[in-house]
Amino acid sequence: MKIGMIALAATCLALPALAQEAEESDAKWTLDVREISLTYSNTTVSNAREYQNSPVSAYSADTQYNIIGKLDIFLNRSTDTGLWQNNLLLNYGKLKIKPVDEPAESSESADKIWLSTDYNRKVWRWLDADVGPFIQGAFQTEFTANQDAPRYKALSAREGIKMFEGPVIKELYGALVEEYDFTYSDKKNTKLAWEIGARAEYVLREGVKWVGTARYTDYMSYSEYVDTDLRYDLELMTKMEVSLTDTLAFAPYVSYRRGQARGTDKVGTNVMVGLSLQYADLFNLN
């Protein structure tokens, strides 16, 4: 109920701005194919036979292969007063581990379906970027369930302030997040959190560009107790894009994720190092 009321209020606040923009003739429609990529990482483990009885399969592995496919596209409508973005993100990966003298094992290393729409108001200019309030509605789920857990399903709304479309800082925001998690049919959970996030790009020289992203979410309240719910969630990523053509690039990258569930004192971490082949392009639809 809380998330519905806040989302409704945010929508009502955005309607006058959207109505004003509908009358503007300078609206620019673009299709931003931010990334279509295939990522591969390979880890070699030494002294595998000495660790073949270890309960930690990573130490007893000969090789580990991690392959991730990603699609990240935006349909944007930009005017002098605002930016309307619609985002589809598909991300799926498999981790394969081959223990010594045993069949290979596999598990998911990435699984995300994200669909969102957000409106960003252009109120101020700072550091050659637009700044203003924004609202967002999103739905997140997975392609498949993770082992014994049901498939993740959640609706969310974000309201806050954002700096966007700058020469280096492409996005920097702080927001209040309301999330309705209906992963478990018997424990539909409404959560309240605050979140900060950023995305930056910097051209080092012709054909070489650094890209970095960051997001931190801190959950403040829950309507139900679910031990797998996170207390906080941190994601960091940095990569170096080396152009092959105008639209193709190789990108070595490092990503780090850290979080803690409500049902444990142990912190979960995930570190990934790899190389991706990616396609990106921007299409003018006017």
**Residue-level pLDDT at 59:** 37
13-22, 82-91, 136-145: range with lowest mean pLDDT: 13-22
Q: Which domain holds residue 43?
A: 2-281
At 94, the pLDDT band (50, 70, 90 cuts) reads confident
Tell which residue, 227, 233, 238, has the closest CA to residue 264.
227
**Residue-level pLDDT at 264:** 84
**Residue-level pLDDT at 56:** 35
Which three-class secondary structure string do you get for the chain?
CHHHHHHHHHHHHHHHHHHHHHCCCCCEEEEEEEEEEEEEEEEECCCCHHHCCCCCCCCCEEEEEEEEEEEEEEEEEECCCEEEEEEEEEEEEEEEEEECCCCCEEEEEEEEEEEEEEEEECCEEECCEEEEEEEEEEEEECCCCCCCCCCCEEEEEEEEEEEECCCCEEEEEEEEEEEEECCCCCCCEEEEEEEEEEEEEEEEECCEEEEEEEEEEEEEEECCCCCCCEEEEEEEEEEEEEECCCCEEEEEEEEEEEEEECCCCCCEEEEEEEEEEEEEEEEECC
Lookup: tokens for 25: 């003739």
**pLDDT at residue 27 greater than cutoff 60:** yes
Mean pLDDT (whole number) for 190-208: 97
The predicted-structure confidence for 150-183, as pLDDT tens digits, reads as follows 888 999 999 999 999 999 999 999 999 999 999 8
The predicted-structure confidence for 50-68, as pLDDT tens digits, reads as follows 534 433 344 334 556 778 8
As for how many domains the chain has, the answer is 1
**pLDDT at residue 276 greater than cutoff 50:** yes
Average pLDDT of every residue of the chain: 84
**Buried/exposed 58-78: b ≥16 CB within 10 Å, e otherwise:** ebbbbebbbbbebebbbbbbb
Hey, how many other C-beta atoms are within 10 angstroms of the C-beta on 37?
A: 19
Residue 3 phi/psi, 5° resolution? Answer: -65, -35
- Which CATH number do you get for residue 39? 2.40.230
Using a pLDDT cut of 90, give the percent of the chain over it. 58
CA distance 145 to 107: 11
Could you tell me if residue 57 is inside a domain? yes
Could you tell me if residue 208 is inside a domain? yes
**Residue-level pLDDT at 107:** 65
Could you tell me if residue 286 is inside a domain? no
**Residue-level pLDDT at 11:** 52
**Residue-level pLDDT at 209:** 97
- 1 vs 168, residue with greater confidence: 168
Could you tell me if residue 243 is inside a domain? yes
Could you tell me if residue 54 is inside a domain? yes
The predicted-structure confidence for 221-240, as pLDDT tens digits, reads as follows 999 998 888 899 999 999 99
Tell which residue, 247, 185, 195, has the closest CA to residue 219.
195
**Residue-level pLDDT at 21:** 54
